[in-house]
């Protein structure tokens, strides 16, 4: 287990838990939000009595433009040895779309076999949602997105490219192993979360009659081992409708990579937008990576106006994953205090505070 802290003697009698955390601030507003996240994580760690040993990696658009390197092999090898990775944002306006996303973000997810993308959708107090008549009591669910297969596997090709008879094929890869480990994680997670104890499979079995037939069969088989977890199925199109009309019906949703990508942007907006939406790319037996799910937002870069709460919440998820559950809960409570009593809006430039002031507010709101 790489997530376990290495114990280091910090004095004659006390042993401090130390976690090696790789930081990839990345592009655009990434460095600004990561700075606030680190500020909050440092404060939480000091309170809880553990230590975060940061290792900063300079990868992203600027490095690519300077050196043509996307993700050097030596960096990847070092990332394999840390307890967790904390990522800001990837995407640069002067780099062709796809190069950095595929070469860094997707590459890390695949190379480190981070087969779960865990994305909580929770409306915090005081946060505006576009859903009429819905409040924090209605919006609190988690999407478990398969993160290494499906349409993201990169299987496909062209035939007769550039001609009038061109064919483009992009295949969705669904393996028994990949689907089963994702579905099992989702059942375990639903049980552990202990809320409604309801797991919804989101698919499209009426059209994807091979891929989602496999998902459905695996889901039903694994469900038999979790009789305490209630199960449901919804087609992805209907899922979008219910997420808007009755989000309170959901507790945990498990779905494939592409559908998970799409429904979690819908999830992000109903929880208040990209300023608050966080996620974890998990390899339960390896190195996991935590990130705000929004992009690099070039137009806000360097202005100290972007909302750092998504990065702060991603940091909280990282602590929970590392086993520092009390500190993680403390960060979430502090964020809820700040949204509930301080911020005017979660939107960039409209918070009533700067990026660094929001970080300070969360630090102040941590329980003492």
Closest approach of ligand IPM to the CB of residue 253, in Å: 15
Closest approach of Mn ion to the CB of residue 268, in Å: 9
> Which two three-digit tokens encode residue 89?
């944002």
Which of 251, 294, 287 is CA-nearest to residue 88?
A: 294
Nearest residue (CB) to ligand IPM, 281 versus 355: 281
Nearest residue (CB) to ligand IPM, 105 versus 327: 105
Q: What is the dihedral of CA 36, 93, 98, 158, to 10 degrees?
A: 170
> Which stretch in 50-58, 212-220, 257-265, 277-285 sits in contact with Mn ion by CB under 5 A?
257-265
Is the CB of residue 131 less than 8 Å from the CB of residue 247? yes
Nearest residue (CB) to Mn ion, 58 versus 265: 265
Q: Count how many Cα atoms sit within 13 Å of the Cα of residue 313 in the half-sphere of its side chain.
A: 29
d(CA 110, CA 279): 16
Nearest residue (CB) to ligand IPM, 143 versus 366: 143
Closest approach of Mn ion to the CB of residue 266, in Å: 11
Closest approach of ligand IPM to the CB of residue 320, in Å: 19
Closest approach of Mn ion to the CB of residue 220, in Å: 28
Nearest residue (CB) to ligand IPM, 289 versus 348: 289
Q: Which residues pair with 345 in a beta bridge?
A: none
Question: In the bound complex, which residue of the shown chain has the CB atom lying closest to Mn ion?
Answer: 261
- Among ligand IPM, Mn ion, none, what binds residue 324 when CB lies within 5 to 8 Å by partner kind? none
d(CA 338, CA 340): 5
Nearest residue (CB) to Mn ion, 5 versus 106: 106
d(CA 289, CA 287): 7
Closest approach of ligand IPM to the CB of residue 33, in Å: 15
Q: x/- binding map, residues 210-249, to Mn ion, per CB under 5 A?
A: ----------------------------------------
Question: In the bound complex, which residue of the shown chain has the CB atom lying closest to ligand IPM?
Answer: 101
> Which stretch in 54-62, 255-263, 266-274, 317-325 sits in contact with Mn ion by CB under 5 A?
255-263
Residues that bind ligand IPM in the complex, under the rule CB under 6 A: 101, 105-106, 261, 293
The dihedral through the CA atoms of 154, 159, 161, 165 has a sign that is negative
Q: Does residue 261 bind Mn ion (CB under 5 A)?
A: yes
Closest approach of ligand IPM to the CB of residue 265, in Å: 7
> Which two three-digit tokens encode residue 56?
């900063």
Is the CB of residue 288 less than 8 Å from the CB of residue 86? no
Nearest residue (CB) to ligand IPM, 146 versus 324: 146
Non-local CB neighbours of 210 within 8 Å, separated by 6+ positions? 174
The dihedral through the CA atoms of 72, 73, 74, 80 has a sign that is positive
Which of 34, 42, 37 is CA-nearest to residue 88?
A: 34
Q: Does residue 146 bind Mn ion (CB under 5 A)?
A: no
Q: Does residue 256 bind Mn ion (CB under 5 A)?
A: no
Which of 92, 29, 88 is CA-nearest to residue 54?
A: 88
Which of 368, 338, 360, 351 is CA-nearest to residue 126?
A: 338
Q: Please give the residue ranges that form the binding site for Mn ion (CB under 5 A).
A: 261
């Amino acid at each position: 287990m790489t997530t376990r802290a290495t114990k280091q003697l910090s004095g004659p009698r006390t042993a401090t838990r130390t976690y090696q955390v790789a930081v990839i601030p990345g592009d655009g507003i990434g460095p600004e939000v990561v700075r606030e996240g680190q500020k909050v994580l440092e404060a939480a760690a000091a309170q809880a009595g553990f230590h975060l040993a940061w290792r900063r990696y300079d990868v992203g658009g600027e490095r690519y433009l300077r050196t043509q390197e996307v993700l050097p092999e030596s960096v990847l090898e070092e990332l394999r040895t840390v307890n967790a990775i904390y990522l800001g944002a990837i995407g640069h306006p002067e780099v062709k779309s796809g190069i950095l996303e595929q070469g860094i973000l997707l590459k890390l997810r695949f190379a480190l076999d981070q087969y779960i993308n865990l994305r909580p959708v929770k409306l915090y107090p005081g946060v505006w949602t576009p859903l009429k008549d819905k409040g924090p009591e209605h919006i609190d669910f988690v999407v478990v997105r398969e993160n290494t297969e499906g349409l993201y596997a990169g299987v496909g090709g062209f035939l007769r490219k550039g001609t009038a008879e061109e064919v483009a094929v992009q295949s969705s890869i669904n393996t028994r192993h990949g689907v089963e480990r994702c579905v099992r994680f989702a059942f375990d997670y639903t049980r552990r979360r202990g809320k409604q104890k309801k797991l919804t499979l989101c698919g499209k079995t009426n059209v994807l009659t091979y891929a989602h037939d496999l998902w459905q069969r695996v889901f039903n088989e694994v469900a038999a081992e979790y009789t305490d977890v209630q199960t449901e199925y919804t087609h992805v199109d209907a899922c979008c409708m219910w997420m808007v009309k009755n989000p309170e019906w959901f507790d945990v949703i498990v779905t494939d990579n592409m559908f998970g990508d799409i429904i979690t942007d819908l999830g992000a907006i109903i929880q208040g937008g990209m300023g608050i939406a966080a996620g974890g790319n998990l390899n339960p037996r390896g190195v996991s990576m935590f990130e705000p799910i929004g992009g690099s937002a070039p137009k806000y870069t360097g202005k100290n106006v972007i909302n750092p709460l998504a990065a702060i919440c991603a940091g909280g998820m990282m602590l929970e994953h590392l086993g520092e559950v009390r500190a993680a809960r403390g960060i979430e409570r502090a964020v809820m205090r700040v949204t509930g009593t301080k911020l005017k809006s979660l939107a960039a430039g409209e918070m009533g505070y700067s990026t660094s002031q929001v970080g300070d507010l969360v630090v102040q709101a941590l329980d003492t």
